[in-house]
Amino acid sequence: MQASIPVELGKDCDVDAGVLLGYPTGRHIELRPVRIGDRARIRAGTVIYASVVIGAGFETGHNVVVREENRIGDDCAIWNSSTIDYGCVLGSRVKIHCNCYVAQYTIFEDDVFLAPGVTIANDPHPLCAKCMQGPTLRTGVRVGVNATILPHVIIGENALVGAGSVVTGDVPPRAVVVGNPARVVCDVDELECPFDLVKPYVNGLDVRRRPEWETVQALPRPVRKPPRAGK
């Protein structure tokens, strides 16, 4: 661990060799200490810039970049080769999978999930930057693989963005949106598990945020998709 800017680590943190904390940005900002809460697990290749505040229970995969002036809540995870650009605000229990890009001035509320390859944009006419602002993802938003979310968009609480979608406008709470441009196809509570194990969403809440997560057993691997009715 090398620190160019002062770093304040909480208790019981595990930081690999090859991690760089307190990297000084080339932007003209006040360079404040990096503050990371208790129980962090930071893996090799991670770079966290100056003036970042992170809560307890933070975890990274390898080669994660967290740019300056970000504020991140408790129990957040960012996996391999993902970047959080500067000036973002992430709530608690945010999970960002591999190869994601979160543009500057994006806001995630609590319990947001990004699947691999999600791209967040923030400039409606690139290289101007005068009105640059990322989208806002409200509490419990889930975004599928390789989706793109454009600037200034607000995605409502507990909404679901389908894989490969391009979100160009606001999304209502609990809506399922798919396509390019993304359009509403149903409410998340209408979705069904193909294996009939559990109701995927109840009042917009995914199963991880409901008691069933502790009681329903996972299927043995490999899991085979059931045939369609009538086939």
Q: What is the pLDDT of residue 187?
A: 98
> Can you read off the two tokens belonging to residue 77?
């995870």
Q: What is the pLDDT of residue 230?
A: 59
Q: What's the full length of the chain, in residues?
A: 231
C-alpha 99/C-alpha 78 separation (Å) is: 10
Q: What is the pLDDT of residue 75?
A: 98
Q: What is the pLDDT of residue 225?
A: 85
Residue 166 phi/psi, 5-degree rounding, is: -120, 110
**Is the CB of residue 40 less than 8 Å from the CB of residue 57?**
yes
Closest CA to 37 of 17, 16, 64, 7: 7
Low-confidence stretches of the chain (pLDDT < 50) are none
From residue 29, alpha-carbon distances to 8, 11, 24, 52, 129 in Å are 19, 28, 10, 12, 17
pLDDT tens-digit readout, 115-172: 999 999 999 999 998 999 999 999 999 999 999 999 999 999 999 999 999 999 999 9
In DSSP notation, 37-62 reads -TT-EE-TT-EEESS-EE-TT-EE-S
